[in-house]
Amino acid sequence: MPTSYHTIFSFSATEPTPLLKDFETFCHYVEHNAFTLGKASGFIPYKPLAELNEMMTHPQMGNTPRTPQEYYPLLHLFYHLALAGKLFQKAPHKNQTRLQVTPRLAAYRALTPAEKYFFLLETLWMDCSLAELSGRRDSFSITLSLHAFLEKICRLKPNEPWDRADQSLAYISFDIPPPALLSFSFFGWYQLERNEASRRHDSLKRFFPVARLVPTQLGLTLAKILLQHRPLEEWNLPNLRSAGFLPNMPETRAIAATSFLELFRPLCAKDELRNTLPREIPQTTRGNFIFKVSVAPKIWRVLALSSKHTLHDLHRMIQSAFKFDDDHLYAFYMDNKWYSENRFEDPRGSEGPFADEAELGELGLTAPQTFLYHFDFGDDWRFEVQLLEIKTDEKLLKQPRLLETHGKAPEQYPNAERDW
């Protein structure tokens, strides 16, 4: 770490911002209030959002009882931090999905305020998909824009305003989506003043016209350290995954095994920054994977494949199980969100990463995880894939197997003319 940073920073539930206080309020509410996530978006529904918003130190103003999660930037950030940090997980409940507490939440609560702050910062920097956070598909362009933005901020002095007299400030909201831009302000890196003259009814989601930005000493210090030692485009794991780096590749394993805290210990009082939650180092799982593949609530198949089989093998098995013709392109969306960048594509496509390169045992799958299979983008066949079990005590299957059939398979081309 550079020796030029000598400032000692203090962290509490409300300093440098109310981030930790509000995040604990968020976690407590989600832990003790059962609600189902939106079926299409996977986000928190309207009523809990409105209630949570009122509990925040600075509630988001101007929202209605039917304002979606993306319009609550702080709560939207907390949702992604809670999942990416694995404090909560999505769990099936009566054909719906809820947020379920994991044992890591108790471990998080046992940390000091400084440790909580840097754990959440690590989660944002390394584990959150900036594309998902921002409602876009291309995380690489967002990470590059953020890098350039932070580099420019680092040329300023603490509390030195950057205002709209600088024309480049006007373009920030177009290059960096509001959720990413606002997230670092919630961490106390800078203060943002919105250009109300450019305000539109949908602007909070689509862009954030900045009139003035004032960096803090904390923000400048942390940004300089991270840009030098943990450049976002090289250390954000979802960004690497979108470029085709699988979880158990040497590059991603090395990143997962590298300490994040050691960079910041000199910035905190003695013993304030010693521990964090353990980062999972991806391991190859050996065994037979049992999947339930559903095309409708009462139409599903149970398939078995070994850890050595690929997602392309799973694709071919789904085609066979539902008696489809393998005559169109397909994709798997591993985060259970349609059209997300966390996907593996048909090897006949042009973008990648490709499904025939993704062995099941290398993907870090855990039961009862679900993901999505999309076949024939024109006719739009959509399947839900749920991992029911990994049998690690069995001999590996040489060929995939169909274990159960439930419901009549739909016709692939129901409106096609028959050749009599």
Which H helix or E strand runs over 391?
A: strand 381-391
According to the model, what pLDDT value does residue 168 have?
Answer: 67
Of the candidates 189, 69, 181, the one whose C-alpha atom is nearest the C-alpha of residue 117 is: 189
Residues 128 and 80: their CA atoms lie apart, in Å, by 7
Please list, residue by residue across 85-113, b when 16 or more beta carbons sit within 10 angstroms of its beta carbon and e when fewer do: bbbbbbeeeeeebbbebbebbeebeebbb
DSSP state of 44: P
**DSSP reduced 3-state for 297:** coil
Q: Which of 47, 80, 45, 50 is nearest to 62 (CA)?
A: 50
DSSP 188-221: TSEEEEE-GGG--TTHHHH---EEEEEE-HHHHH
Q: Are 69 and 26 in contact (CB under 8 A)?
A: no
Note if the pTM is more than 0.85.
Answer: no
Handedness of CA 102, 105, 106, 108 (dihedral sign): positive
Residue 317 has a pLDDT of 97
In the chain, which stretches have pLDDT less than 70?
1-6, 164-171, 173-174, 197-207, 247-248, 416-420
What is the per-residue pLDDT across 46-83, written as a single tens digit (0 to 9) for each?
999 999 999 999 999 888 889 999 999 999 999 999 99
Rounded to whole angstroms, how far apart are CA atoms 217 and 159? 8
Task: Please state which CATH number belongs to domain 288-406.
Answer: 3.10.290.30
Paired residues of 60 in beta bridges: none
C-alpha distances out from residue 72 to 24, 45, 179, 309, Å: 17, 12, 9, 41
Q: With beta carbons less than 8 A apart as the criterion, state whether 220 and 11 touch.
A: no
Confidence (pLDDT) at 140: 81
Name the segment(s) of the chain with CATH classification 3.10.290.30. 288-406
- pLDDT digits over 386-415, tens only? 999 999 999 999 999 999 999 999 999 887
